[in-house]
A and B are shown apart, each in its own frame.
Chain A
């Protein structure tokens, strides 16, 4: 157990590396895909990956969830949890509004591919 925790301490950067990968993947989906729903899924991944960025540094090895009780003395940092709860709400709110827009676009244009919607339109 102890040894593994030591290892965790040394390799701890791994959390950040995967977080970075997820952020990159989310951004890549948003920018590269033309399908609007896929773009919104990418947007969710982009937003969700931020959760790790906040929560991982708040974790304390050997700590427990920040609910005070007599059995524990070490707790992980509660503040990032609160912030991320808010971020989750913002994420789902954005997704709902985005999907409503996509439904309207589909009704008006008959397609949810950006290539069809934006290039086929006279914007002037």
Chain B
């Protein structure tokens, strides 16, 4: 059952992605990308990643959509028709895909508990979390303690982005503010 559910979600994801490639109205693209995030969140929850799924739903479908919509409000909502040939991008994507298929071909099959990944450090966290930190949600204990330094970095990333956006869009927009554009620098 689990597997069938996954398969359907995965196929939906692929379909939405094809939609995003094809649609030229950017509002539709944003709506589709919201749907993509919800599907992704469901899929993540189906794969037991409840924390990640919850975050993806809140961030991908929530915050990202709001940001994209407010950006669309300030810019243009229609994508111009493509002027270039798609051969090179297609070749690049196919090459990347080929390397990935090659790389993932031999990976342990889905759901195997005895892979190196599932029997090494990950397993250790499950055993150590309660005795060492008293926290039953292992994701929280790893996030905030065992790999808490990554999370400090992650907070710093958010901080950087926040101040960065502020610096770029600070103050009211004035005409001619941005272009000293007489072609000279």
- Indicate yes or no for A touching B, C-beta below 8 A: yes
Which residues of the other chain, A, contact B151 by a CB distance below 8 angstroms? 86
Task: Tell me the complex Cα distance, A79–B146, Å.
Answer: 10
Q: Which interface class (under 10, 10 to 19, 20 to 34, 35 or more) fits B?
A: 35 or more
**Beta-carbon nearest neighbor of A66 in chain B:** B138
Q: Are the CB atoms of B122 and A35 closer together than 8 Å?
A: no
Q: Which interface class (under 10, 10 to 19, 20 to 34, 35 or more) fits A?
A: 35 or more
B179 interface neighbour in A8, A62, A108, Cβ under 8 Å: A108
Which residues of the other chain, B, contact A78 by a CB distance below 8 angstroms? 122, 125-126, 138-139, 142
Task: Tell me the complex Cα distance, A61–B111, Å.
Answer: 4
- Cβ of B35 within 8 Å of any chain A Cβ, yes or no, is no
Which residues of the other chain, A, contact B86 by a CB distance below 8 angstroms? 32
A99 interface neighbour in B7, B67, B138, Cβ under 8 Å: B67
Q: Are the CB atoms of A81 and B139 closer together than 8 Å?
A: yes
Task: Tell me the complex Cα distance, A87–B59, Å.
Answer: 12
Quote the shortest CB–CB distance from B20 to chain A (angstroms): 6
Given A95-B67, A108-B181, answer yes or no on A28-B93 (Cβ-Cβ < 8 Å).
yes
Which residues of the other chain, B, contact A34 by a CB distance below 8 angstroms? 79-80, 82-84
Given A15-B110, A52-B43, A68-B129, answer yes or no on A113-B139 (Cβ-Cβ < 8 Å).
no
Task: Tell me the complex Cα distance, A103–B161, Å.
Answer: 15
Which residues of the other chain, B, contact A108 by a CB distance below 8 angstroms? 178-179, 181
Task: Tell me the complex Cα distance, A72–B48, Å.
Answer: 13
Task: Tell me the complex Cα distance, A52–B37, Å.
Answer: 12
Given A9-B109, A10-B109, answer yes or no on A93-B158 (Cβ-Cβ < 8 Å).
yes
Q: Are the CB atoms of A90 and B154 closer together than 8 Å?
A: yes
- Cβ of B171 within 8 Å of any chain A Cβ, yes or no, is no
Quote the shortest CB–CB distance from B24 to chain A (angstroms): 8
**Beta-carbon nearest neighbor of B50 in chain A:** A65
> Could you list 5 A-B pairs, sorted by A, with CB under 8 Å?
A13-B105, A85-B55, A90-B154, A107-B173, A111-B76
